[in-house]
């Protein structure tokens, strides 16, 4: 009897435990369901309520920093597209050279490491700031059309302006660098500026990622029987050189050494044995550049265009045929909107600022369609000065509404030819002098013609001119002010800028970019974010970019990092609400810049987009 009662008791206990377990299980499931429902409700609220999103942080709107280096220096810095070249420029500064000397050495170096973009077969624009004078100067070493050139020479032969010896314009690189050396440099012997790169050519060039990409893209041509670029074939692999491999260019080393040892390199290159040899090669290939063309070439020292920004800053850049007036005009327009770092504290306010930036860009690019060589079209200089006035900027701001408009609303719709193969160098020295220099051979590997004796890759800047009757893909007519004439320089997107504080004479920003027609918008973008939004130079360079050149009427935004598609979508949607035609695009430009803080710390950055670039200084 007792046993029976104990069994009954145990059975009841077991049943009670089972019921208790089931109750706990049901409660646990109920709690889980409640948590899931709460999370779903919270997510819906966040998605529907932008104010909740804004309370997270402003960091959610932009990608994580790239792996490019933001380096800080106390005395001087060089920021180039290639780190080895930045170091060569830095070494010049340490040895007592000034910013101009360092820029020359760096430019010669870039012409080797970025052989697809620049070299002594091309030309450049530079903006120079001399602190003791508190003045900017500009050098126009843009290539010129040969005497035998005319505006109809490429009618019916569009490829003739892109490839071959007829596409070559008279090069200006050597003349421009020597002019700057004689006028503003000379702290070190000329030879010391060229020989580091000459020795690299002789003993080994490390192929950069940027050059390797373009070699691979052009490998079919490089390997073809008629190629002029067989120098880029690795004899060990019988393919184009790849990143990390080492090549030698002994003929170019000899050419650079001749120029380094010359008492007057301009005489040698433009009127001496080198000129005669090069012209003979042009003639054998059906080219039209003569000894007279070489002898008559002149780089120009000229007064800069200038604007005031805010209370204290002055921005300087070269006049047309450079396009520096366009990013300067964009900055001038945005200055009147009183943009400050507070505008980046919410996505709504920043989206409005970005909309206005796009609108300012459209009006400015409309003026760009009327640019050309001011020596041949004098009214171009007047136009460039006009769009930099405070009155013009005020008039444009009145036209900027909270809606985008048709292209005709903004002005002319002529089109110019885009250039692609460029490189930019920014330099600041211990004395406060600065150089902003952009150099080019136009499209990648220029004309794809190479001097067999001197291993110089020649530009194809004849393609930067417009040709009558040759409309672009969007059926807009060519730019009359940019038609070919003997001795004329084609319009360029190159826009090297320097900003300095007029109260103390200190440089604030040295900036420029490479990358065709988007040089203009990139230069404006980096300057805008550095000056108005108070970002570091790395932040300003890293930021995904916006570009609008009016024709076509599309606002391009970069898709750089995986998170951009979600982070930028808020901005993209907001800008669409302003009527902007938003189109994603891959990175197409590379900027370099130097920014100086109010307490004198020098920070520098080379754009990660090109690969292989980093700044150097001391």
Q: Are 439 and 82 in contact (CB under 8 A)?
A: no
Strands 555-558 and 582-585: parallel
Q: Is the pLDDT of residue 563 over 50?
A: no
Q: Is the pLDDT of residue 404 over 60?
A: yes
Q: Is 589 annotated as a binding residue?
A: no
User: Is the C-alpha dihedral spanning 226, 228, 232, 236 positive or negative?
Assistant: positive
Q: Are 464 and 139 in contact (CB under 8 A)?
A: no
Q: What is the pLDDT of residue 31?
A: 63
Q: What is the pLDDT of residue 457?
A: 98
Distance CA 40, CA 373 (A): 62
Q: Is the pLDDT of residue 561 over 80?
A: no
Q: Is the pLDDT of residue 418 over 70?
A: no
Distance CA 257, CA 253 (A): 6
Q: Tokens representing 541?
A: 């360079």
Q: Is the pLDDT of residue 413 over 80?
A: no
Mean pLDDT of the region 367-375? 93
Q: What is the pLDDT of residue 551?
A: 85
Q: Looking at domain 61-204+248-303+415-617, which of 3.40.50.1970, 3.40.50.410, 3.60.20.40, 3.20.80.10 is its CATH number?
A: 3.60.20.40
Mean pLDDT of the region 94-123? 98
Q: Is 501 annotated as a binding residue?
A: no
Q: Of the ranges 311-315, 406-410, 470-474, 590-594, which one carries the lowest mean pLDDT score?
A: 470-474
* Closest-CA residue to 192 (of 278, 279, 98): 98
Q: Is the pLDDT of residue 2 over 50?
A: no
Distance CA 385, CA 322 (A): 13
Q: CB neighbours (10 Å) of residue 286?
A: 9
Q: Tokens representing 441?
A: 């051979």
Q: Is 349 annotated as a binding residue?
A: no
Question: Is the model more confident about 589 or about 25?
Answer: 589
Q: Are 387 and 367 in contact (CB under 8 A)?
A: yes
Q: Is 464 annotated as a binding residue?
A: yes
Mean pLDDT of the region 177-196? 99
Query: Active site includes 422?
Result: yes
Q: What is the pLDDT of residue 471?
A: 63
Q: Is 516 annotated as a binding residue?
A: yes
77, 209, 229 from 120: Cα distances, Å = 24, 21, 16
Mean pLDDT of the region 81-97? 98
Strands 507-514 and 205-206: unpaired
Q: Report pTM.
A: 0.88
Q: What is the pLDDT of residue 473?
A: 44
* Closest-CA residue to 201 (of 274, 111, 261, 262): 111
Q: Is the pLDDT of residue 57 over 60?
A: no
Distance CA 519, CA 588 (A): 9
DSSP state of 541: H
CA angle 379, 380, 383 (to 5 degrees): 90
Strands 602-606 and 590-596: antiparallel
8, 95, 140, 319 from 180: Cα distances, Å = 108, 19, 10, 17
- Which residues are CB-neighbours of 145 under 8 A, at least 6 positions away? 169, 170, 462, 465, 484, 485, 486, 487, 488, 489, 490
φ/ψ of 543, rounded to 5, equals -50, 135
Q: Is 442 annotated as a binding residue?
A: yes
Q: What is the pLDDT of residue 504?
A: 97
Q: Write the DSSP string, 397-412.
A: HHH--SS---GGGTS-
Q: What is the pLDDT of residues 10-48, one digit of tens each?
A: 434 344 444 444 555 555 555 666 656 655 555 554 444
Distance CA 416, CA 373 (A): 13
Q: What is the pLDDT of residues 467-512, one digit of tens each?
A: 998 764 444 568 899 999 999 999 999 999 999 999 999 999 999 9
Mean pLDDT of the region 408-414? 82
Query: pLDDT over 70 for what percent of the chain?
Result: 85
Q: Is 411 left (phi over 0), alpha (psi -120 to 50) or beta?
A: left
Q: What is the pLDDT of residue 69?
A: 78
Q: Are 564 and 63 in contact (CB under 8 A)?
A: yes
The residues spanned by each domain of the chain are 2-48, 61-204+248-303+415-617
Distance CA 266, CA 275 (A): 10
Mean pLDDT of the region 95-108? 99
10 Å CB burial of residue 485 (0-12, 13-18, 19+) is middle
Q: How far apart are the first and last CA of the chain?
A: 99
Task: Give Dmax over CA atoms of the chain in angstroms.
Answer: 131
Collapsed DSSP state (helix, strand, coil) of residue 435: strand
Q: What is the pLDDT of residues 234-284, one digit of tens each?
A: 999 999 999 999 999 999 999 999 999 999 999 999 999 999 999 999 999
Q: How confident is the model at residue 55 (pLDDT cuts 50, 70, 90)?
A: very low
Catalytic residue among 144, 422, 443, 592: 422
10 Å CB burial of residue 437 (0-12, 13-18, 19+) is buried
Q: Are 70 and 603 in contact (CB under 8 A)?
A: yes
Q: Is the pLDDT of residue 49 over 50?
A: no
Collapsed DSSP state (helix, strand, coil) of residue 321: coil
Q: Is 606 annotated as a binding residue?
A: no
User: Is the C-alpha dihedral spanning 142, 147, 148, 153 positive or negative?
Assistant: positive
Q: Is the pLDDT of residue 600 over 70?
A: yes
Q: What is the pLDDT of residues 511-543, one digit of tens each?
A: 999 988 899 999 999 999 999 999 999 999 999
Q: Of the ranges 336-345, 412-421, 535-544, 591-600, which one carries the lowest mean pLDDT score?
A: 412-421
Distance CA 441, CA 462 (A): 10
Distance CA 334, CA 317 (A): 18
Which ranges constitute the DSSP H helices of 285-388?
Answer: 291-296, 325-335, 347-368, 379-386
Q: Is 450 annotated as a binding residue?
A: no
Q: What is the pLDDT of residue 463?
A: 92
Distance CA 479, CA 87 (A): 41
């Amino acid at each position: 009897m007792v046993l029976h009662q104990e069994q009954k008791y145990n059975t009841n206990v077991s049943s009670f435990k089972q019921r208790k377990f089931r109750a706990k299980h049901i409660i646990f499931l109920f709690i889980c369901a409640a948590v899931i429902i709460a999370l779903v409700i919270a997510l819906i609220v966040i998605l529907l309520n932008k104010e909740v999103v804004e309370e997270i942080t402003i960091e959610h709107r932009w990608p994580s920093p790239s792996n490019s280096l933001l380096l800080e220096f106390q005395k001087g810095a060089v920021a180039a597209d290639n780190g080895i070249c930045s170091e060569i420029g830095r070494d010049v500064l340490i040895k007592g050279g000034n910013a101009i000397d360092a820029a020359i050495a760096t430019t010669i170096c870039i012409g080797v490491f970025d052989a697809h973009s620049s070299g002594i077969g091309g030309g450049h624009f530079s903006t120079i700031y001399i602190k003791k004078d508190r003045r900017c100067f500009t050098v126009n070493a843009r290539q010129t059309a040969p005497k035998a050139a005319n505006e109809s020479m490429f009618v019916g032969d569009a490829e003739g302006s892109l490839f071959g010896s007829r596409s070559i314009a008279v090069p200006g690189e050597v003349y421009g660098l020597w002019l700057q050396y004689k006028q503003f440099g000379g702290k070190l012997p000329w030879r010391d500026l060229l020989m580091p790169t000459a020795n690299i050519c002789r003993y080994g060039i490390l192929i950069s990622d940027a050059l390797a990409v373009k070699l691979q893209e052009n490998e079919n041509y490089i390997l073809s029987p008629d190629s002029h670029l067989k120098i880029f074939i690795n004899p060990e692999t019988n393919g184009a050189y790849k990143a990390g491999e080492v090549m030698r260019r002994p003929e170019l080393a000899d050419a650079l050494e001749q120029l380094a040892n010359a008492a007057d390199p301009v005489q040698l290159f433009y009127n001496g044995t080198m000129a005669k040899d090069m012209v003979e090669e042009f003639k054998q290939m059906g080219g039209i550049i003569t000894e007279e063309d070489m002898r008559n070439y002149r780089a120009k020292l000229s007064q800069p265009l200038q604007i005031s920004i805010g209370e204290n800053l002055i921005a300087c850049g070269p006049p047309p045929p450079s396009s520096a007036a366009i990013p300067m005009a964009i900055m001038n327009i945005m200055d009147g909107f009183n943009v400050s770092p507070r505008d980046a504290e919410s996505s709504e306010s920043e989206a409005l600022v970005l909309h206005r930036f796009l609108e300012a860009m459209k009006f400015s690019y409309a003026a760009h369609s009327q640019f050309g060589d001011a020596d041949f079209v004098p009214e171009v200089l007047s136009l460039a000065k006009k769009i930099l006035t405070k009155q013009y900027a005020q008039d444009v701001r009145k036209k900027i509404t909270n809606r985008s408009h048709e292209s005709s609303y903004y002005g002319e719709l002529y089109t110019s030819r885009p250039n692609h193969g460029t490189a930019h160098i920014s330099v600041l020295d211990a004395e406060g002098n600065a150089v902003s220099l952009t150099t080019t051979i136009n499209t990648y590997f220029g004309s794809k013609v190479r001097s067999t004796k001197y291993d110089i890759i020649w530009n194809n800047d004849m393609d930067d001119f417009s040709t009558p009757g040759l409309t672009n893909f969007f059926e807009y007519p060519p730019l009359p002010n940019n038609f070919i004439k003997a001795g004329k320089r084609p319009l360029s997107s190159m826009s090297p800028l320097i900003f300095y504080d007029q109260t103390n004479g200190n440089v604030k920003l040295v900036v420029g970019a490479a990358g065709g027609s988007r040089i203009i918008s990139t230069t404006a973008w980096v300057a805008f974010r550095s000056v108005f939004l108070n970002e570091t130079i790395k932040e300003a360079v890293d930021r995904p970019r916006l570009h609008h050149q009016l024709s076509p009427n599309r606002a391009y935004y970069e898709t750089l990092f995986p998170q951009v598609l979600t982070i930028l979508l808020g901005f993209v949607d907001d800008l669409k609400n302003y009527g902007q035609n938003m189109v994603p695009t891959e990175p197409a430009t590379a900027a370099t810049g130097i920014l100086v803080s109010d307490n004198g710390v020098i920070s520098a950055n080379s754009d990660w987009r090109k690969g292989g670039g980093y700044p150097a200084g001391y």
